[in-house]
Structure 1
Amino acid sequence: MTSTNFAQAQQRLAARRQARDSNNAARIAAQRDASQARSRIDRLPFPFSRFGLAWDSISSQEGTRPAFRVGQVDAELLDDELLELLRGQVGDALKYFAGGHLKDDWSAEILLALRALLFKLTMWDNDATYGAALQNLKYTDARKNTSVLVAPSRWQKSLYGLVTVFGKYGWEKWENWLLDHDDGYSDEPNPRLQRLSSITSRVTTLHAGAAFVSFLVFLLQGRYRTLLDRVLRMRLAPPTSQVSREVSFEYLNRQLVWHAFTEFLLFILPLVGINRWRRWISRTWRKTKEIITTKGYEDKTANGELGFLPERTCAICYQDQNALASTETEIMAAAASSGVIGSAQTDITNPYETIPCGCVYCFVCLATRLEREEGEGWTCLRCGELVKECKPWSGDVLEPPKKSPTAKVVAFSEDANDMEGNSGTKAKADVEADGEVGNEFVDVSKHEDHFTDDTDDTGDSEGFEETMDQDE
């Protein structure tokens, strides 16, 4: 080690020693000033002389190491959530009793029973509430400063249950009684009732202020979470230090995944068209069931579920009025008992026939079903065919086939001379029946005119002969 490095090390040691001495001197001066201020406070009258002890208790950092503030606050929130959850479940169970007013009329008593039950099963038996147990915390007696945690005494737990269970119930009933007897529209209010209401509001304000100050002290020290814990000298502390304080966010990740999945479904389902898939599945299932039921029979003609109805009955109207019947036997039994088949309620109005099967339905019923299927087709209730279009019913009127206004018939030249001696109808049929034999074609329309002239001449000769006979 060189002389230069040794000299620098000596200088650093001297600087550290000087800084330590200055810090000690400053601390001693601060303690001297604090002791002088403390002596002045102690010389004050009794109520004010206790401020020194209160300041020492607040500024002390004792107890901050083993008690985690976040865990204690989370334990209180979990207890409140559990109580609200049980209250909602009990309310749902009692909403059908006494006309649904039971849970409203006895809400305070229900909360009293729930708080008493939770206190007995958690605090009284295990020295920890439900939320505290989840946070690895238990109540201890803070009056005993020992290395081993001491459970609270029975009188501490009794007072704790008396205040948290019956105290809250009594205070709530007291406030409800004041509200029931407070007639704000009266010209002469009751002075006694006003005095009680004023005292109650002042006590509530005082308790809220004290609880706020106690919570601020809790944030500083981490010892007593609530004002009641501070009064009873009970605090929450972990029973063992072997449990890790790391919080697992697996449940949060699972919740985020399910939330994203539900949002994806809400986005994609309108695009996919759940009604279309539902109709397709129901149609496939119905066809599969029909194939299974008709398997093994030689006569496999298409037949719908309401094919047995008479022609004057609209199958859609009948199905709407007998929606509960599922099988043909049940439908027939219902029809026989009620007499709906053939009634005016199910008769076809403004008949329209389906394409291609030609079954007849009411126009409104058929158009509604086709519109509901959105162009995918609707299964006919009478024959089971897939229907996509409809047209007005023709009434079973046979329409003559329409002939083309212009027609042209061709024939070979070899057969043209043979057709001159025959009648016009027979010649036309022979010409249409001939095949391709030669390469030259001739128009037969001229020959038709010739046949017509011959026919006219024959008619004239016959008429002349009849006239001669009459003259004779």
Structure 2
Amino acid sequence: MSLVESTSASEGPPPQDAWHAEFQRLLPLWESLRDSSKVIIPISISRVNQFDAARLDVEMSAMLKEQLVKVFSLMKPGLLFQYEPELDAFLEFLIWRFSIWVDKPTPGNALMNLRYRDERVVPIIGKEVRTGLEGPGLSVSQKIFYCISFVGGQYIWSRLQSFSAFRRWGDLEQRPLARRAWGLVQNAEGLYQAASFFNLLLFLYGGRYKTIVERILKARLVYGSPNMNRAVSFEYMNRQLVWNEFSEMLLLLLPLLNSSSVKKFLLPFSKDKSAGSFGDEADCPICRSSPSIPFIALPCQHRYCYYCLHTRCSATSSYRCPRCNEVVVAIQRQGSV
């Protein structure tokens, strides 16, 4: 006991600013614990879903276009073809007006459980972050610029290409100004294709912004609901594609096959090889009618029409009798020697 009292007496009282030094030492730890909620939750959006959504939007536009073309089917042929860029722009504007402008996903995005989010103002503070999918939709300026660049840009580019092709800007006989404009159009197209390819590589690596317009606008596709899978199943579509390819292959190969050769090949495997399987012995086995001028095949002695047997034997030197599958070496009129 005397040893403890001597030790405490030798240390003495703590300095007056000891509490302040301890507070400064523990303050960073307290700040880190208090701000632990300010953590960005990383999310990963399926690249396949985003590509499928874009493809479904294209298919939806094509279906609307097909239905609209049927309305003008009774008009002058070729009249609607002149205004095809305007028709495409009108349909794309309708899809934009009733989806993106009213803060709703496009048909393809809705089927893939996707929506657009303004990546510039994503909330990352406190209780607002639960799944990492929170965030406001596109702003008014983003929506308008999306319409101008996506709808108006495609329309202007298609009209410019058709006008330059009609005016033949690329011909050597044209004026230097027209050839220079044609060169600018080709350079702009090549630059856009290169930028799209570079953006595709970035998208495959990071999974954000599948188009250049989305990257410029900072409009990212995220899941609309964290507990909902995509609404499109490609199982039946894959089956349909397999059967379509198989039927196309059969349509390609069947005309190349000789029906008589196939019958000859399958005849040895048939269960009933008797002559009765081919009908009455008095009828011609080729035309299935009674021969007016009967001829017999040698050496099997079966009756044929002269025309049927003569044409078959003239077409091939190894014609086989359909009744007995024996090679016909000669023909003879019935009753003659």
TM interval, short-chain normalised: 0.5 to 0.7
Q: What residue is the counterpart of 1:78 in the other structure?
A: 56
- After superposition, the Cα gap between the structure-2 partners of 1:87 and 1:122, relative to the gap in structure 1 and judged at 3 Å, is same
Q: Do 2:111 and 2:231's aligned partners in 1 also have CA atoms closer than 8 Å?
A: no
Q: Distance in 2 between matches of 1:193 and 1:241?
A: 54
2:211 paired with 1:226? yes
**C-alpha deviation, 1:375, in angstroms:** 6.5
Secondary structure (helix, strand or coil) at the match of 2:151 reads helix
Q: Give TM-score, length-normalised by structure 2.
A: 0.55
Unaligned runs of 5+ in 1: 1-61, 272-373, 377-387, 391-472
Q: Of 65, 70, 75, which residue of structure 2 is paired with 1:97?
A: 75
Secondary structure (helix, strand or coil) at the match of 2:121 reads coil
How does 1:46-445 map onto structure 2 within 5 Å? 65-98=43-76, 100-146=77-123, 147=129, 148-182=134-168, 187=173, 189-244=174-229, 248-252=233-237, 255=240
Q: Distance in 1 between matches of 2:201 and 2:64?
A: 31
Q: Distance in 2 between matches of 1:197 and 1:375?
A: 70
1:311-363 deviations in Å (ceiling 9; x for gaps): xxxxxxxxxxxxxxxxxxxxxxxxxxxxxxxxxxxxxxxxxxxxxxxxxxxxx
Question: Match for 2:178: what amino acid?
Answer: L
- After superposition, the Cα gap between the structure-2 partners of 1:101 and 1:67, relative to the gap in structure 1 and judged at 3 Å, is same
Q: Do 1:132 and 1:138's aligned partners in 2 also have CA atoms closer than 8 Å?
A: yes
**C-alpha deviation, 1:227, in angstroms:** 0.6
**C-alpha deviation, 1:209, in angstroms:** 1.0
Q: Distance in 2 between matches of 1:145 and 1:240?
A: 16
Of all paired residues, the percent bearing the same amino acid is 31
Secondary structure (helix, strand or coil) at the match of 1:140 reads strand
Q: Distance in 1 between matches of 2:41 and 2:141?
A: 23
Q: Distance in 1 between matches of 2:71 and 2:41?
A: 45
**C-alpha deviation, 1:185, in angstroms:** 5.8
Unaligned runs of 5+ in 2: 1-39, 124-128, 260-286, 293-337
> Relative to structure 2, which stretch is displaced further, 113-122 or 244-253?
244-253
- After superposition, the Cα gap between the structure-2 partners of 1:221 and 1:253, relative to the gap in structure 1 and judged at 3 Å, is closer
**C-alpha deviation, 1:262, in angstroms:** 7.7
Q: Do 1:95 and 1:102's aligned partners in 2 also have CA atoms closer than 8 Å?
A: no
Q: Distance in 1 between matches of 2:80 and 2:67?
A: 11
**C-alpha deviation, 1:66, in angstroms:** 3.3
Q: Do 1:64 and 1:221's aligned partners in 2 also have CA atoms closer than 8 Å?
A: no
Secondary structure (helix, strand or coil) at the match of 2:102 reads helix
Larger Rg: 1
- After superposition, the Cα gap between the structure-2 partners of 1:257 and 1:165, relative to the gap in structure 1 and judged at 3 Å, is closer
Q: Which has the higher contact order (CA 8 A, sep 6+)?
A: 2
- CA RMSD between the two structures: 3.6
- After superposition, the Cα gap between the structure-2 partners of 1:97 and 1:151, relative to the gap in structure 1 and judged at 3 Å, is same
Q: Distance in 2 between matches of 1:197 and 1:183?
A: 6
Question: Match for 1:114: what amino acid?
Answer: L
Secondary structure (helix, strand or coil) at the match of 1:174 reads helix
Question: Match for 2:227: what amino acid?
Answer: Q
Q: Do 1:223 and 1:235's aligned partners in 2 also have CA atoms closer than 8 Å?
A: yes
Question: Match for 2:157: what amino acid?
Answer: W
- After superposition, the Cα gap between the structure-2 partners of 1:259 and 1:141, relative to the gap in structure 1 and judged at 3 Å, is same
Q: Do 1:95 and 1:103's aligned partners in 2 also have CA atoms closer than 8 Å?
A: no
**C-alpha deviation, 1:168, in angstroms:** 0.8
Secondary structure (helix, strand or coil) at the match of 2:220 reads strand
Secondary structure (helix, strand or coil) at the match of 2:81 reads helix
Q: Distance in 2 between matches of 1:140 and 1:156?
A: 11
**C-alpha deviation, 1:197, in angstroms:** 1.2
Q: Do 2:113 and 2:231's aligned partners in 1 also have CA atoms closer than 8 Å?
A: no
Q: Distance in 1 between matches of 2:207 and 2:99?
A: 23
Q: Distance in 2 between matches of 1:173 and 1:206?
A: 19
**C-alpha deviation, 1:91, in angstroms:** 2.8
